[in-house]
Structure formats: structure tokens, C-alpha cells
Chains A and B, each alone.
Chain A
């Protein structure tokens, strides 16, 4: 039978006290704990200073007198053997430990549970050394403020926050009674003696992780607690409202955070929250129940900038004139409302510390930066690449409203600046400087984030092994996540194969469209080059000259690429089934539209080459070929559109060149028309006639200006005569089929051009050939409304005057 009546003979229950060297465990544990710290073992010999050797040890003579004679004394009893006795209940210690831990699994729940589950702890328990708690660096040895010591009586009206009876100090009798009871039961049940009666705590071994909350509350004057609780303030927040000095000195909070309280609450408890409206007043007068505290006089809150008279008591208010009183009351109500609102909101004060907020802000800023991708560059090139249509459109037509494009970089900067102000605004804050540092750090971080985002743009995509494509993450510029199909490794090979195919079939629709696109891409590249043209070089600045030279070089190479893409120089195959690539190019609206832009980018020689190409193929040109009509037919809509487009897009460019072209080129072109094309076919179309008119009128202008040499002129006249002779039979047929078919001005223009250049004899033949049509038109114009009629007459007159006549003469 042991001292406490515990059965100590349970098998396999070895514990601390079973060890021969109980402190070996401690040493081991400590060694384990220190392993990473410091391995330098301190040798006794190294550190012993030898002072012990100087001790005078020769005066032991009266030891027996002092300590009693050992020899004649009664045999030594066992009652000092505390170790042995305690060892017998070592198991009970361990069990109690485990049971307690199970009962209070987390410190925060410590208040709720009582000892009702005492029987539940019969499972095998891990071996314990009894020193576990010392291995926990955060361990705080029981700081139990026993309020009874200080004469503060327990408040029975705080049942919720009082761990039931846990704090009760039992008298010796009570303890013994309990022990006796439990030992009796343990013998009864043959169970480990852990099953204490429910509701009775273990007085001798107070739990090591005593929840601190109630303890702290017990130090607060009860009135305040009650007042706060009555208002439904949660206990955690109560704590937060408590200024530190409130707690009596010896029981102030331990320097480390007690385990049960979230860190940030404590942080806030240490410096009063800034937006908290009531706290200082509230806690400054502890014994007074808060609810009876009169509302703060408004002046106390905003006295300085209040224009109202300072009112300290109701009488003063009554003495005020009616208006002022009303205004005052109104103001008062407003303030009350505002204060109430602030109070309501203040419930959430301190949920986030400034650090938390900064953290969030930082994350948001980083996301902003990452989303923008390449923020800092408000470089016009990048903007143009992303926003080409809008930018150019705005330049062309004027922005539809004030410039809404705000570079994100600027935005981010603004935002940063604002946050800086916001934090700086809390003047007089103790850690204001810290906040500044924080902002600086944040700015630096944002900058780093920007740079990182710039440095590796590859991160925008995720490539999953074995997948077909890659997933690109969305950002502000490309909000939709896209799946990009992976290009096969042999993309180069694929391209060359395609190119070969293109060469094989220059004429199929797809390859023609492809080559048109190719031309456009070259055009755009050249137009981009135009924008980046360096300023005209200064003679004295070799670097600028160098830059200019390089730029010119690039333009030249681009020009060459464009020229090749146009395929103007492809060999002409006579009588081929398929049209020349360039003519095919011109047969698509896109190709026609490209001509003006091409003419801007090429030099005169290239222009004349293109003109020559067109003239040579005049009768295979789609607008000529498809305009050939059998009698009674009229042009289909798409042909008319094509003709219209050609005359709007291509003709002006050609005309521009021809109007400046040297005479010999005109002669050569006319010769080509006569030699290479079916002139009669060409002349029956609007475009063909237009080109002929162009050349004839240019020759006339050259002649008028007297720039033509005699020899050239002779050549020209020869050619002209051939042309005239060829066309003479069909002069009547070059008109649109019926007289009311609409616009025939271009024919009259052509006839006028022929008429001017013709000899008097030719003019007569001309008049005879078209006389009928002239008469018809004149008559027809009389049936038309005056304005349309005079227009038609004007057209005819254009021709008549060219040969020295007038419609007026026709009567």
C-alpha cells in the first residue's frame, strides 16, 4: 500500500520516476533542443577556476555536535524518502496529465468543459517524463492570479467566465476526503485512479495551461465588465479595450502573448486604436458603470472648429434665440448620428492591423502591376501595338471625347502616391516613421514586381506537359484566357513546303490572297518606318548621319521586299491561260485598294514599271475583261463595283504618274497598247478608255507646253494615227449600250482628247462617226430635267469644243 493508496503495480507503466537517472531525460531533451543552437560542450576543466581548492576544510571536528551523532541514533526511517514515495504514484501523475490535455485540447476552449469526461481516458497513454512542458519554449509557468489573496471577492454573477470551482482552494480535509474516496473507488473498479468524481477538480496539480482570459477579467472592476457585457461586447474585444495600466501591477499581462489570445488583439491593446471614439473616457473612470455615463458634450469632440457657442449646460441653450437653438439642436442630432455610426463601425476596429492592411494593399498593387504586364512603358509604340485602331482613328477623326487612355503606369503611380498620403495623414502617430519606411518598401516592392514582370513575360503562359496547347493567363489587356495551339516543331519545314506550293500555283485564289496580305504586311512595315524616320541629319553630327543612313538602308530593303511581294517582275508569259500575278493581284478589291499606298512607297522607276505592266495587260485586266458586253447586256453589280473601285483607287495613282511622265514614256506606252493589246476591246471599256484618255491628254499638254521634240512628236503622231485608224470603225460602239444607261462622260472625254490631237481631216472623220450619238444625246437631254439635261449637254460640249464646235451650233 502506497502513501496515497494508489496501485503502483500496473505493468508497463514506466515513467519519470522509474528511471535510475531521472535527469538523464532532461539532459537528453535539452541536448536535443540545443542541437541546432550550439554544439560547444563546456568542459568542466576548462571553466573551473579552482576557487574550491582554496577552501579551508580542516574544521570538521564539531560536525557531530552540530548534526547529531549518527552512530547511536535510531535507525533511519523511511519517511524522508520522498522520491520513492512519489515514484509510486508516478503513473497517476502521467495519467492526470493526459487526462487534462484531453479535457482542454485547446487553450481557447478551456473555459467550457468541466470534468465530466473523466472516465473516457482509459486508453494506453504515452510514456511521459513529466518535463514535456519545459521543452515548449513558449511555456509560461502558471501565472495564476488568485484574487482571493488580494481580498477581491469572487463575483458569483460572472458564471460564464468563471471556470467552475477551478480556482477554489480546498482545505486539507477536503483533499484528504477526495483522495480517500477515489482510492476506495479505484480499488472497487480495479481501475487507474483517474476517475475523480465529476465536478471536483484536481487541486494538487493545477492544470498547466490555465486559460488566462477569466483571470484577467477577474482583475477588472466588475462594474465595467458588467456594463460592457450588458452591451453585448464580446469578451475578446473587451480585452482589447482595456488599457494596460488597468490591471493591477503584479498581474499585468506576461510579456509573451498568452496562448489563448490572438496576437493582433494584444497588439492593439498595447496602443489605443486611433478611431476608437469612446475608449479613453470610458476606461478612465473605472468604477463608474458605463451606461450611466452622460453623452459626451459635443464640444468635447469638435470644439475648436465649431462656430456654435460653447454650451455647457441646458440653461445656456434655453437662452439662445430660437434660430440658433434649432441650428444647434440640428447640429447636435447630426453629430449624435455620426457618433452612433462611428460607434457601430468601431466594432470592427482593429480587426486588421496596419500591417495587415499594408499587406493587402501590397498584394493588390502587385496584381495590378502583374495584370498590366508592362506598365512603365507608356511608350507610343507599345500603345500603338495594343490599341492601333483607336489611336489612329482618333488622330484621323479627332478623339470622340477627352483622351480616355490613361497609361496604367501612371495610374499605379497615382495610386501609390495616394496611399502614401493616406498613411502619412495620421500625423503624430508614434510609428509614423515606420509607416513611411513601409511605404518606401512597398514602392520598392512594386517596382521590383514591375521589373520582374518585364523580365519574364514568358510566365504569362502555362504549358502542361503533353497537352496540345498552352494556356495563357488573363490580364487587363487580354481578359479572356486563351488556348494557344502549339506550333509543331517543324514549323520551318511546313513553311517552305507551303512556299513551294505557292510557287507552283500562283493563280489559285488562296495564294493570290496570301500574296496580297504579304504586300499589305510589307506596306505596314514601311509605313511604320516612315513614322520612325530620324530627323534630317545635321552635317556636323556623324552619329545622326549614321542613323539616317541606317534608316535609309532599312527602307530600301523593305522596298525590295515589297517589290518582290508585288510580283510585278514575274516574267510575262505570252498567251498564258492564267493572268500575270500582278494582274491577278489587281483583280481583287484588296489589291486595287493597295495601289495608292504602294505608289507612295515606291520610286518613279517602279511606278512606270507598274504602269507598263497594267498597260501591257490592259485587255486581261479584270475590269476590262469583264466589262465586255454582248449587245443588250448591262454590267453586273460586282463588275460595276470593281470598275468604280478601280477608277477611284488605281486610276488617280496612274494619272498622277502620267501627268508628270516624260513624253517618250507616253509614246512607249501608247505603242505597247497598240502592239500588245486588242485595242478595240480595250476601247469598249471605261477603264481602257480612261487610260487612253490619260495618255492622249498628256501628249497634248506636252505639245501645248512646247516641250516635245520634233522627232518625238513625229513618233507620237505615227502611233496616234494607228490608234485612230484602229478605233475609227467602233467610235459609235464605245458608248454605253443605251443612251439612257447613265454616265457616258468618260467617252466624251476620250473623244475630246482624240479630237484635240487629231488632224483636221481626222476630226471630220470623227464627227461623222459620232454624229448620230451627238444628236441623240442632245435630243435626249431636252427630255430630261433641266439640271440633268444641261449636264449631258455639257459632256457632249466637252467633245464639241475640242474640235472647235459647240452644241449651240446644232440648234
Chain B
């Protein structure tokens, strides 16, 4: 649940999401769930010329499985904390696997 936990802290931040079909969408992250489905508001599609059909879309729900990257605002990430969270997650996983 690390990623879920992490993305939750980014709600109401502006993120850029690159989908597996190369579409990149910038918008305000409204919510995320444990499948990493993402709800975006005030979306801007980068390279709008290529995807004119998206020009009128203002908000969207993105299925988690089609996301390739999420580009985050760097200032909103607490790296040290994230490292510790990762260590904890790894410890949890190791505990479960045994």
C-alpha cells in the first residue's frame, strides 16, 4: 500500500500523468484509490494537437492499470520519509512472505 499511501499525500497537487498510450495529462489530483485509479480535475492534455478529441475534457477518471508515469511536484515529496516508508514496506512484505 506504499504507493497508495504516497499518492494520497499528493491530492490537490498538480501532477502530470503519462498513459501507456503516450498521452500525457496534467491536472489536479483529486483522489486515488488502492488500485491507483486516479481522478484528475482541470485537466490539460499535453500535445493537444495530437489528441484533439480530448480538448473538451475537463476532468477524468484514469484506470490505474493504464498509467505509465506520474510526474510529481518535487517539493511535495518527503524523500527521507519516503525512504523510511519503503523500508517499512519491505519489512512488512518480508514478514508476510515468510
Contacts and interface: CB of A to CB of B under 8 A. Distances in A.
Contact of A388 (B35, B85, B98): B85
Interface residues of A, number: 29
Interface in B46-98: 78, 80-85, 87-89, 91-92, 96-98
A401 B89 CA distance: 24
Which has the most chain B C-beta neighbours within 10 Å: A386, A388, A391, A485?
A: A388
A257 B71 CA distance: 66
A479 interface: yes
A518 to B, nearest CB: 11
A140 to B, nearest CB: 55
Contacts of B11: 400-401, 404
A593 interface: yes
A487 B93 CA distance: 13
A520 B87 contact: yes
A390 B87 contact: no
Contacts of A520: 83-84, 87
B8 interface: yes
Interface in A451-510: 472, 476-479, 484-485, 487
If over half of A's interface residues share one DSSP class (helix, strand or loop), that class is named, otherwise mixed; here it is: helix
A387 B80 contact: no
Contact of B5 (A389, A397, A484, A517): A389
A707 B97 CA distance: 59
B87 to A, nearest CB: 6
Contact of A390 (B6, B80, B84, B88): B6
A791 B6 CA distance: 42
A389 B9 contact: yes
A517 B87 contact: yes
Given A386-B1, A479-B34, A521-B87, A392 B81 contact: yes
Interface residues of B, number: 28
A524 interface: yes
Contacts of B10: 400
Contacts of A73: none
A683 to B, nearest CB: 32
Given A387-B1, A388-B84, A524-B87, A400 B12 contact: yes
Contact of A524 (B6, B88, B97): B88
A51 interface: no
A387 B89 CA distance: 9
Interface of A: 385-394, 396-397, 400-401, 404, 472, 476-479, 484-485, 487, 517, 520-521, 524, 590, 593
Given A388-B89, A401-B12, A524-B84, 19 more contacts: A386-B1, A387-B4, A388-B85, A388-B88, A390-B5, A392-B81, A393-B78, A394-B9, A396-B78, A397-B78, A400-B8, A400-B12, A400-B13, A477-B34, A485-B97, A487-B98, A520-B84, A521-B91, A593-B80
Interface of B: 1-2, 4-6, 8-13, 34-35, 78, 80-85, 87-89, 91-92, 96-98
